[in-house]
């Protein structure tokens, strides 16, 4: 149990030695801070003390973007994980097996695997491959042929790249080199509670889920996103798999399917993948700030980069970027309009409250 008198004394002194020992919640602003936070002091009636960030978050509070209290509550291995990420990014073509990475971080293989996944959202192996794929994408444009780019990116053979192309490139290396030429995308539209929704898919999964006011506007957006692909309307009746994807999205919007697990065929950098994986972990009906997402992926200073990753999301709902708002409580940006973002958040909160 927290000693309330000691907490008040530490708060009055803005005592840095108390940082991490307890957290100060401000009910009127909906945030929680370090005791030493330099922000303007709230009225005593609006202040609560919490032993952990999770206790504050259970009361609906978000981490302060000024004093960043979540940095105090991170896994002790988080700094080592960040250093390891920077090393892998700088040396994507090195072997990087789990034993070597664990030795470099000074952790056991088990601890590294668990801590890395918690901090980054990917396993060490997945992160290494994501970094190699990023280098491969760069090399495919500059190299004289695919084989040269494959080996330059650290892959032992081109067959390994083609095995992973459908989940990392969204197309084969040669197709990517040619700007997506030869990729077939089918699309269909459906009405939703927040306007017309267009769904685009390859034979591997969804590559486009966006909202708009009319079909021509959405089709133009799809063509801008994939200018070299073959784009055609979905034949009717729609294939069973495509009907299932549409049903899952519409059920999700209706609040009948809170968890979406759909196959995606999208292109992403290693950083985008970290952000998007984290967004998929935000519970239905909840929101987090850009700062909380940045802290959640182990990069608390990358708030603007997180916002850019949200803005480049091409598959609404499947990657729920609408659940990320500003630390002030303002909605922030949303590529399909703030009215839709507010409607989606309100809809999810209402359904969650009704179910609870």
Active site amino acids = 33, 321
Tokens of 168: 């990392």
Strands (E), the chain: 23-26, 31-33, 47-50, 62-63, 184-192, 195-201, 206-212, 230-233, 288-289, 324-325
List alpha helices for 226-330, DSSP H. Answer: 240-253, 270-279, 290-296, 303-311
Cα separation, 194 vs 207, in Å, equals 20
Cα separation, 309 vs 278, in Å, equals 11
Q: Are 218 and 191 a contacting pair, CB within 8 Å?
A: no
Cα separation, 339 vs 150, in Å, equals 44
Q: Are 198 and 212 a contacting pair, CB within 8 Å?
A: yes
Tokens of 279: 């967004």
Handedness of CA 90, 95, 99, 104 (dihedral sign): negative
Q: Are 87 and 112 a contacting pair, CB within 8 Å?
A: no
Cα separation, 24 vs 30, in Å, equals 11
Tokens of 173: 């290396």
């Amino acid at each position: 149990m927290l000693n309330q008198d000691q907490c008040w004394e530490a708060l009055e002194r803005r005592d840095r030695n108390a940082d991490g020992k307890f957290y100060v919640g401000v009910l009127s602003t909906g945030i929680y801070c370090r005791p030493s936070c330099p922000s303007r002091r709230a009225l005593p009636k609006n202040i609560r003390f919490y032993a952990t960030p999770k206790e504050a978050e259970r009361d609906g509070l978000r981490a302060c973007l000024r004093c960043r209290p979540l940095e105090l509550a991170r896994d002790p291995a988080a700094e080592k994980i960040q250093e390891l990420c920077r090393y892998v990014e700088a040396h994507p073509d090195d072997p990087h097996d789990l034993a070597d990475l664990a030795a470099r971080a000074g952790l056991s293989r088990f601890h590294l695997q668990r801590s890395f996944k918690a901090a980054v959202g990917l396993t060490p192996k997945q992160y290494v491959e994501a970094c190699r794929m990023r280098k491969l994408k760069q090399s495919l444009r500059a190299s004289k042929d695919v084989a040269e780019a494959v080996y330059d990116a650290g892959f032992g053979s081109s067959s390994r790249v083609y095995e992973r192309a459908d989940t990392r490139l969204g197309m084969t290396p040669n197709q990517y080199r040619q700007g997506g030429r030869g990729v077939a995308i089918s699309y269909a539209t459906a009405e939703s509670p927040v306007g017309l929704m267009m769904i685009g898919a390859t034979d591997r999964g969804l590559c486009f889920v966006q909202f708009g006011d009319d079909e021509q506007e959405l089709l133009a957006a799809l063509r801008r996103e994939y200018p070299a692909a073959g784009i055609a309307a979905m034949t009717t009746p729609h294939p069973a798999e495509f009907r299932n994807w549409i049903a899952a999205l519409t059920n999700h919007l209706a609040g009948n399917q809170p968890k979406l697990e759909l196959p995606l065929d999208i292109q992403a950098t290693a950083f985008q993948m970290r952000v998007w994986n984290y967004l998929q972990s935000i519970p239905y009906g909840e929101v987090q700030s850009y700062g909380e997402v940045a802290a959640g992926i182990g990069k608390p200073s990358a708030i603007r980069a997180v916002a850019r990753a949200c803005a480049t999301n091409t598959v609404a709902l499947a990657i729920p970027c609408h659940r990320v708002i500003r630390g002030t409580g303002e909605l922030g940006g949303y590529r399909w309009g703030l009215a839709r973002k507010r409607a989606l958040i309100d809809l999810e909160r209402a359904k969650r409250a009704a179910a609870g």
